[in-house]
Amino acid sequence: MKIQAVFFDMGGTIDTFRTTRELQLSKTPDLQKRFREVGIDLGLTNEELFNVVSKGLTRYKAWSLSCEEEISPEQVWREFILPDYSIDQDTLASIAEDLMCFIETRYFDRKMRPEMPKVLEAIKNLGYKIGLISNVNSRGQVPTNLAEYKLKDYFDPIVLSSEFGRRKPDPAIFHHAAHLASVPTSQCVFVGDRVARDILGAQRAGFGLAVQINHNYNHGEIDTGASPDFIINDMTELLDILKVNSIPSTQEAQSSNPKTNPIRALLFDAGDLLYYRADKGRYLKEFQKEMDLNPEDNHKEERFELRQQAYRGQILQKEYQKAVLNLYGINQPDQIDRGLRAIQKDENNVQFFEGVRETLLSLKEKGYLLGIVTDTANPVHIKLNWFERGGFGHIWDCFIPSTAVGVRKPDPKIYQAALDQLGVSPDQTVFFGHKTSELEGARVMGMKTIAFNYDKDAVADYYVENFADILNNPLISEQ
């Protein structure tokens, strides 16, 4: 197996930690002091404040586990910890990050695993990229502790759920990290202590290896859902795993296939190529009828401009959807909520073309790098969830949405982002699409093209009428 990057979890992996009620109570006076310094007096004893904070964080933990979402410290304090207290919200917002960082650093006794500097230096000398992916609500805890351990310079990228907005085991955060490192997911290793977050998430994202390191701490959660490729007790054991899975030399890679620039990567559009929506827009039309609106008055030009902004990441998907409802005169909060639910039902009404799952799994088995290049307003985690339902969420080596690049196909930047992450040239790549413009964009880049469910005027190197016929295409079957 080819490996280019090693990613680490933080808590329980790079460092170990423990905590007790007594330890946290002993730190609570300093927490109380931080409130009072900005003029917030909750009227609570230290023990009462400790209980309020503990119960609120427990509520937030249960919520975030259920939806894999990370919200801001300000929202956590406002909605989960102190919803029953009348506090100036601007003042609370000004100290929310500091309060959360205090809890995450001072409510726990953290110690770096003593072998980490030696291990990280060895991994660096082996030529691997080193990154970090951590579930954390503050933005300060991980940088603070890495600086304390004198390890920060080893990690690039550092991906925090507090900045990304999604938590492990959501595969989207793993894909984001691999993209920042410019490495295919299948050529990444992840090391973490939690099966339900680290191992499961890495495997859902298609990481090449998922390694669990034992950490003696009772989180009070069921920690199951996947089987790690390796279990280690000391980080030095990781080095043997990496040496066995070393990067092959250029000469070895070339000698294994005598062809010049063989096809190595396959890039796919998503909507109307892998999946379609039967009776498109059905639920929005039903909602419009309920509201005595004319579905035929579709505000085509305005919706197109809004869609362009959303697909380029200039506005969020929910802002785009609300703006569309506003075009129809839907402005009341309860009506907007109903309209958003209708739009979301339409969005999730995804059906896969016959043969998609089996064909993609077969292509993966053949050793191709597989990528998605999609114009979309949907967050990556939404589409990955659809693909997981279809049985092929784990196969993607890159996932490039237009929102992340800021352009839509056929702009060459979006294709190039995929090529860069996969480490391939255009003449080593086949693009699968259906729209005339996106196929032309790939051809201009120098890629071979295969069209499925295509526009009447689409121009491609090859055309297939059934998705499974891809496997018999000369570009594929000859490899």
Estimate to the nearest angstrom the gap between the alpha carbon of 10 and the chain centroid: 17
Same domain, 366 and 238: no
Establish if 196 belongs to a structural domain: yes
pLDDT at 102: 97
Residue 213: which H helix or E strand, with range? strand 209-213
Distance CA(106)–CA(26), nearest Å, equals 10
Q: What's the rounded mean pLDDT across residues 40-64?
A: 96
Checking if the pLDDT of 117 tops 80, the result is yes
Would you say 179 and 371 are in contact if contact means Cβ atoms under 8 Å apart?
A: no
Same domain, 331 and 381: no
Same domain, 28 and 130: no
Establish if 260 belongs to a structural domain: no
Q: What are phi and psi of 120, to 5 degrees?
A: -65, -40
Q: Provide the whole-model pTM.
A: 0.95
Same domain, 377 and 421: yes
Same domain, 271 and 409: yes
Same domain, 115 and 77: no
Establish if 121 belongs to a structural domain: yes
Establish if 270 belongs to a structural domain: yes
pLDDT in tens, 215-247: 998 888 889 999 999 999 999 999 999 988 765
Q: Which of 299, 320, 347 corresponds to the end of one domain?
A: 347
Closest CA to 309 of 300, 317, 301: 317
Q: Which of 50, 82, 107 corresponds to the end of one domain?
A: 107
Question: Considering its fold, how many domains does the chain have in total?
Answer: 4
Checking if the pLDDT of 255 tops 60, the result is no
Establish if 256 belongs to a structural domain: no
Distances in Å between the Cα of 89 and the Cα atoms of 33, 47, 85, 97, 410 are: 18, 24, 10, 13, 45
Establish if 451 belongs to a structural domain: yes
Six token digits for residue 166: 């999604």
Q: Which of 307, 324, 347 corresponds to the end of one domain?
A: 347
Same domain, 270 and 396: yes
Burial letters 87-114, b for 16+ CB under 10 A, else e:
beeeebbebbbebbbbbbbbbbebebbe
Burial letters 429-467, b for 16+ CB under 10 A, else e:
bbbbbbbbebbbbbbebebbbbbbbbeeebebbbebeeb
Same domain, 397 and 269: yes
Q: What's the rounded mean pLDDT across residues 469-473?
A: 95
Establish if 35 belongs to a structural domain: yes
Same domain, 142 and 212: yes
pLDDT in tens, 412-443: 999 999 999 999 999 999 999 999 999 999 99
Establish if 252 belongs to a structural domain: no
Q: Is 264 helix (H, G, I), strand (E, B) or coil?
A: coil
Structural domain boundaries enclosing 292: 282-347
Same domain, 231 and 360: no
Same domain, 125 and 234: yes
Least confident residue range of 26-35, 259-268, 284-293, 436-445: 259-268
In the chain, pLDDT over 90 holds for what percent of residues?
Answer: 89
Say whether the peptide bond before residue 379 is cis (omega within 30 degrees of 0): no
Distance CA(72)–CA(78), nearest Å, equals 10
Distance CA(77)–CA(89), nearest Å, equals 10
Would you say 167 and 378 are in contact if contact means Cβ atoms under 8 Å apart?
A: no
Distances in Å between the Cα of 160 and the Cα atoms of 68, 157, 166, 291 are: 13, 10, 9, 42
Q: What CATH number is associated with residue 217? A: 3.40.50.1000
pLDDT at 248: 45
Residue 398: which H helix or E strand, with range? strand 398-401
Same domain, 53 and 159: no
Checking if the pLDDT of 252 tops 50, the result is no
What's the helix, strand, coil split of the chain in %, to 5? 50, 15, 35
Q: First-to-last CA distance in the chain?
A: 19
